[in-house]
Amino acid sequence: MSGKKLMIVDDSPAIAEVIREGLVKAGYEVFVAHNGFEALRDLETVAPDLILTDINMPKLDGLKLCQAIQNRLETRSIPFIFFSSSYDEKTVKKGKEIGAKYFIAKPFTIEAILECVKEALAGPDPGANSCP
């Protein structure tokens, strides 16, 4: 057991569940929020060691969620892994500017997610990377 708490934020229950199952099997404690507002609401209760979030979500997207969390002194050290089916230079640049370190393109495998989670939790902060 890793003992690490992870939060998945995705408006697709099916994708969130696939990721959750893979992470639980790997020994992580996993919480799911279905949009950025739910994630912010549950942030203090869950106290995640890492957040995996889709970028494109209704209500509060992943970039705005990351920015809100990075703007708070007590939560700014939480690493983010962004996953999305539509990355462009502008989105990646914006993500880097607000503190994002890891990006995974959809479709992805659970193995790629696990590798990226392991890398993100290992520190030290290597700068923005595209995970496999």
Domains of the chain: residue spans and CATH: 5-130 (3.40.50.2300)
On whether the CB atoms of residues 94 and 70 are closer than 8 A, the answer is no
What pLDDT, on the 0 to 100 scale, is given for residue 125? 54
- What is the rounded CA–CA span in Å between residue 55 and residue 57? 6
What tens digit of pLDDT does each residue of 5-42 get? 999 999 999 999 999 999 999 999 999 999 999 999 99
* pTM, rounded to two decimals: 0.90
* Residue partners of 46: CB distance under 8 A and separation at least 6: 5, 7, 31
Radius of gyration from C-alpha coordinates of the chain: 13
pLDDT tops 60 at residue 132: no
pLDDT tops 70 at residue 126: no
What pLDDT, on the 0 to 100 scale, is given for residue 8? 98
Q: How many Cβ atoms from other residues are within 10 Å of residue 89's Cβ?
A: 7
What tens digit of pLDDT does each residue of 51-103 get? 999 999 988 999 999 999 988 888 988 999 998 887 778 888 888 888 777 88
The dihedrals phi and psi of 118, each to the nearest 5 degrees, come to -60, -45
